[in-house]
Amino acid sequence: MRRRFWVLLHSLQWAGRCSSCKGKSSADNSDGAGEEEAGAKDEALQRLVHSLGFEMQEMERLVRGFATGEKKSTVAAHKKDSASCNSLADVCTKHSVFLLPFCKVAMAYKGLRATSAKYRGTAGTVTTSEYGETEATALLHRCARRIGAKVNIREVKDLSEIQLLGGALATLFAALWDSMRGFRREGKYRWQELLNGDAEKVKQLHTWRYEVIKMHVEAFVSLQDACRSVFGMALKDVPSRQGDAAFRQTLCLCISTINSMTLAISDELHWHLSRPSVKKNDEEERRLLERRITDCVSSMRNLTNTFLAGMVEENVTVIEDAEGGVQILSVICAIEDILAVMENSVNLPVGVDGFDDSRFFTLLIMWLLQTASSLFHAPSLNEERRFVSCLQKLWQKLAPPLEQRSSDKVMTHRTIHASLNLRYARLRSEPQGGEGDKSFVSNPATSALLLRMLERTVSTFLSWQLKRDAVKPSMVLPYAVLCRTVLEVEVEIYFLACKKTGRELTTPTDLFHTGVDNRKEGTPTDLEWEEILKATSSLRVAVSSLVHAYMRAFVSQDLSAFALMEGKKGDFSFVKRSVYRFMSGISTSFFPLLRRHYIDSAGKEVLTSSLRSFLALKQVSDIMDGDGEERRHGVNSTFRVCGVSLSQATEVAFFLSLYRRDHLSLITGSSDPADAIDGHAISSYVKEVLFALDHSTAKQLWHLRSTKVLRCFTGVSYEGEVTDERQQRRQAQSILSVVHAHVVHPSFLWMPLFQLQEVLFVLAQNRELIEGLQPYLKSPKADDSATLAVFHVGSAGGTLRHFAKVLGYVALRLYVVSNVLRCYRELLPTEECPSRLALRDSTSGAKKRREWAKNMALTLQKSFPGLAAEVEGLDPKRRTHRKRANRRVLARLETACIFAVDQKLLFHVKKQRRKWRAKRAMQRLLDGSDGDGGGNNTVSAIALSETVAQDEILTIFLKRTDARAPLGFSLYGERPRIRRIAGSEHKDDNEGRSVDENMKDTPFSAALRAAGVVEPRSVVGWCVVQIDGADVESSKAVITLVRGKHEFSMSLSPPA
């Protein structure tokens, strides 16, 4: 668009000083005074033009071109103009494209040097001096040197025409920016001079300020026109330089510099226009200036965005030269400048029309990744740190916020990871607030290119790490930020691709037959997004390998430091080690990676390198005894197992078992085990997790029983029913989904169906941990002398444990889940149910016992109708998906029950527990007898052993001379359970032992010995079930029935 030539100098009137006009002027003026005045002005004009680097003919041609619209400059002329240039400053002053922009920038800068001490002439007139001309030229040369260093321009003669134009354009922008900063300083200085000045001088100062602002706006507009011309020529020249990486890199640096200068200049101009003194001027003119500034910013940013996209999206690998480190440092500095300007700019408009910020930040990320991945040699640690910082800041500007909605408050959890649960919940939800396709990666081609660059960059960092001997402790956090940021980008693209393809993220209902799931794949129109899903999977593998490389280096360093300082005083806290700090830095993104990759692959793949990372963390945790050390020091923190939380360790144990199944030949040694995970390491990890789950479950049961909240796994309170509605809803939710209590304190008490199925799979794959338990549990006639497998567990490795209780907890939880889902099945239509599960209980007694199951099933159906669809990865809003989900849940239950039976993992927990405890009580009786002098007692004990084993009831007869005398035992509070026995250390005189004359048998001890119990203390923990044939259920009932009696019978049963 043709613009009217704006008068450059008000005092000299350049537009009327052409040679033709000058002759006419001399002919008309006949008096001497007029000739002297004209000659003086001509000399001033020539001095000014020469100081700017022009000749009079060039200036006349420039003025004529702007006045008539003639365009006589050609590409050949441009090359001729640049051929004689020795620096970027020469290009700015001699090239025809920059003549007008340079003049306006120079005049704006010279406007700052207007006389301040004496306000001569008309108000608003800006005068110049020879000093100002010299300053303008010096400013240009200073900016040229600074820009040359920024964009790696060392020798002008080696550059192409387009590179010179780009560098010169950036130089002019830098000069205008310096002029704006000088304008602020000058204005502040002049205002301080006039603190006590008169009103006339203050008015002249405000007029001067407004005139200089308009000069800078005009210069800014002229730079926009020059930028459009330069980029137009560059777009024609770029295709001819397809493989010239240095050419593209220089242009990208120039573009980024121009972009940051544009934002800085715009912010400064808006600040000046917002001053109260400026607002007193014409409102319409001031708004026009603001509109022109905004239009310039929008136009400039769109131009730079388009040109940068052409440079970056060609995906040309930047070839490293001898100074590759300088090259990546230049890119980092350019991006840091842009980010600094954006962070410090407070006067920019909120939004720029027609400009896509997300697109711009995506291009900057791609440019940064492209530069880093092209380096063959690792840069310095400081450059790596700054690279990671730039990448993180760009992603923070670009990443869409994952804010919680009101609907998320009732969200059910599919996994133990909160961020992943939000992603899965949003996957099927409708976009809100204009989300739609405004994502930064809505274009599949851009997404694919970004993923390839990320993977290439990760591979580059991996190669650098493998060549290093060690890692500096100061790089722990930067490397964690790098891995976390790459994973966050991958997550964003992955879930967008899942939404575009309509992918169903389901897992197999049968863990032994993977790949049989009916998963909906993308339609033919979504093939591009399907390729992106494959690319995200490849990137996850690459990042996992990089994390493992860093973990291995940190583990080696921590173990070496611990070995050197062992036995010496010092702080060897596990939480302060590099490996733990690194893992904590990536936990939010890396911990869900195993589960997400498993779900994405439909249960077919496990990230092996991620498993190795967790095993490496356990290695340090075991040696430094880190589990729970904060609790020992009074710090409230989550209990750790193998260096991580118990919930995360449980997932790792499952995926290790999956790996063991798929790589059984490598683990057992029948193939090359070079890259295989050791089977002993897997077994060691699993046994630590099982022990921690055992401990956590027992602790929770004790707490819930002591506070009289719950009595058992069924969720029934001591009154026999669930009165708390909130508690009943949580119990019902825990059947299928992960409740918050299970995330914070994992145990078998709240374990959902899918995780219960995984634990069964873990037990089956690690059978050495339950060796000797299955035959004993399944057959009542099995050999009782079979040796149970015991293991050293715990951080210190000093606790001997077996996992019989773990099997009992698993059986109890499966009993609860199966009963609830059987009742849930009765509420569903027949076509939604598998065929092999029993529908109804035949006896009324069973129905009465399982009233709690019916209540939870009703809660599931009424309060959570879409829960099954959510946990199975389907859409809860679609009726067909809800039907499919119900079938999948019941099929999962069916396969879990059948699998548990086939693996001999189920038994009647209550009966087996009674049998074990009766056997243990009889063993105590036998151990208390003496083979030499106590033959009768031995026979009695054996007989009693057989009696208790058959009837499980011991009846004794108590006698006392005084009805108010104590019986010699105490009970547990309200429970009729033997807590303590008095006088139990008295021994019979016939055994040849010393007798305490002051110690006498109590009625209770005497009755026990009369019944054949040699050691009365062996019945501690037994329950009082009857007094004189009357059933008792509490301690009060026992006291009531024995009060005032001299003789009575008491029936005892072993602990259940």
> For residue range 94-103, what is the model confidence (pLDDT) as tens digits?
888 888 888 8
Separation CA 207–CA 215 (nearest Å):
13
The pLDDT score that the predictor gives to residue 402 is: 67
The pLDDT score that the predictor gives to residue 518 is: 52
Residue 434 in this model has a pLDDT that exceeds 70: no
The pLDDT score that the predictor gives to residue 452 is: 93
Separation CA 579–CA 560 (nearest Å):
13
The pLDDT score that the predictor gives to residue 394 is: 93
Of 724-728, 791-795, 983-987, where does the model show the most confidence? 724-728
Using DSSP's 3-state secondary structure scheme, residue 908 falls into coil
647 CB neighbour count, 10 Å cutoff = 20
The pLDDT score that the predictor gives to residue 43 is: 62
Which residues 6+ apart lie within 8 Å of 285 measured at CB? none
Radius of gyration for the alpha carbons in the chain, expressed in angstroms and rounded? 42
Least confident of 273-282, 391-400, 879-888, 925-934: 925-934
Determine whether 577 is exposed, middle or buried from the number of CB atoms within 10 Å of its CB (0-12, 13-18, 19+): buried
The pLDDT score that the predictor gives to residue 646 is: 92
In this predicted model, which residue has the larger pLDDT, 14 or 509? Answer: 509
Long-range contacts of 28-36 (CB under 8 A, 24+ apart): none
The pLDDT score that the predictor gives to residue 17 is: 38
Q: What is the mean pLDDT of residues 235-255?
A: 75
Q: What is the mean pLDDT of residues 586-596?
A: 94
663 is written with which tokens?
A: 């790589």
In this predicted model, which residue has the larger pLDDT, 736 or 434? Answer: 736
The pLDDT score that the predictor gives to residue 948 is: 47
Q: What is the mean pLDDT of residues 676-703?
A: 89
Residue 127 in this model has a pLDDT that exceeds 60: no
The Cα-based distances of 60 to 109, 586, 749 in angstroms read 23, 66, 91
The pLDDT score that the predictor gives to residue 568 is: 64
The pLDDT score that the predictor gives to residue 590 is: 95
Residue 377: pLDDT band (50, 70, 90) is confident
Separation CA 251–CA 310 (nearest Å):
11
Our CA dihedral for 661, 665, 667, 671, rounded to 10 degrees, sits at: -150
1004 is written with which tokens?
A: 């209770």
Residue 784 in this model has a pLDDT that exceeds 50: no
Contact 729, 738 (CB under 8 A): no
Residue 920 in this model has a pLDDT that exceeds 60: yes
Residue 548 in this model has a pLDDT that exceeds 90: yes
Residue 520 in this model has a pLDDT that exceeds 60: no
In this predicted model, which residue has the larger pLDDT, 950 or 614? Answer: 614
Least confident of 388-392, 523-527, 696-700, 735-739: 523-527
Residue 902 in this model has a pLDDT that exceeds 90: no
> C-alpha 532: how far from its chain's center?
20
Q: What is the mean pLDDT of residues 29-55?
A: 53
Which residues 6+ apart lie within 8 Å of 286 measured at CB? 273, 278, 279
Which residues 6+ apart lie within 8 Å of 740 measured at CB? 413
Residue 306 in this model has a pLDDT that exceeds 70: yes
| 799-819 residue pLDDT tens | 677 788 888 899 999 999 999
The pLDDT score that the predictor gives to residue 872 is: 92
Residue 944: pLDDT band (50, 70, 90) is very low
Phi-psi region of 129 (alpha: psi -120 to 50; beta: other; left: phi over 0): beta
Residue 547 in this model has a pLDDT that exceeds 90: yes
Q: Where are the alpha helices (DSSP H) in 566-607?
A: 578-585, 587-590, 593-600
Least confident of 721-725, 740-744, 751-755: 721-725
Q: Inter-axis angle of helices 527-565 and 578-585, to 10 degrees? A: 160
The pLDDT score that the predictor gives to residue 38 is: 46
781 CB neighbour count, 10 Å cutoff = 5
The pLDDT score that the predictor gives to residue 440 is: 67
Residue 945 in this model has a pLDDT that exceeds 60: no
According to DSSP, the residues that pair with 969 across neighbouring strands are 981
Separation CA 9–CA 7 (nearest Å):
6
In this predicted model, which residue has the larger pLDDT, 10 or 652? Answer: 652
The pLDDT score that the predictor gives to residue 243 is: 58
Separation CA 422–CA 401 (nearest Å):
12
| 179-198 residue pLDDT tens | 988 888 888 888 887 776 67
In this predicted model, which residue has the larger pLDDT, 204 or 760? Answer: 760
Q: What is the mean pLDDT of residues 486-491?
A: 95
Whose structure tokens read 């108010």? 964
> C-alpha 669: how far from its chain's center?
38
Which residues 6+ apart lie within 8 Å of 920 measured at CB? none
In this predicted model, which residue has the larger pLDDT, 325 or 649? Answer: 649
The pLDDT score that the predictor gives to residue 65 is: 57
Separation CA 208–CA 119 (nearest Å):
10
The pLDDT score that the predictor gives to residue 1031 is: 85
DSSP annotation of 1002 = -
Separation CA 988–CA 612 (nearest Å):
63
Using DSSP's 3-state secondary structure scheme, residue 1019 falls into helix
Least confident of 557-566, 916-925, 995-1004: 995-1004
Residue 116: pLDDT band (50, 70, 90) is very low
In this predicted model, which residue has the larger pLDDT, 796 or 582? Answer: 582
The Cα-based distances of 811 to 751, 806, 821, 838, 897 in angstroms read 12, 9, 15, 18, 10
| 439-473 residue pLDDT tens | 667 788 889 999 999 999 999 999 999 998 788 88
Residue 892: pLDDT band (50, 70, 90) is very high
- What share of the chain has pLDDT > 90, as a percent? 23
Q: Where are the alpha helices (DSSP H) in 52-110?
A: 56-68, 75-83, 88-94, 99-110
Least confident of 222-226, 782-786, 974-978: 782-786
Separation CA 314–CA 449 (nearest Å):
10
Our CA dihedral for 510, 513, 514, 518, rounded to 10 degrees, sits at: -70
Separation CA 239–CA 578 (nearest Å):
49
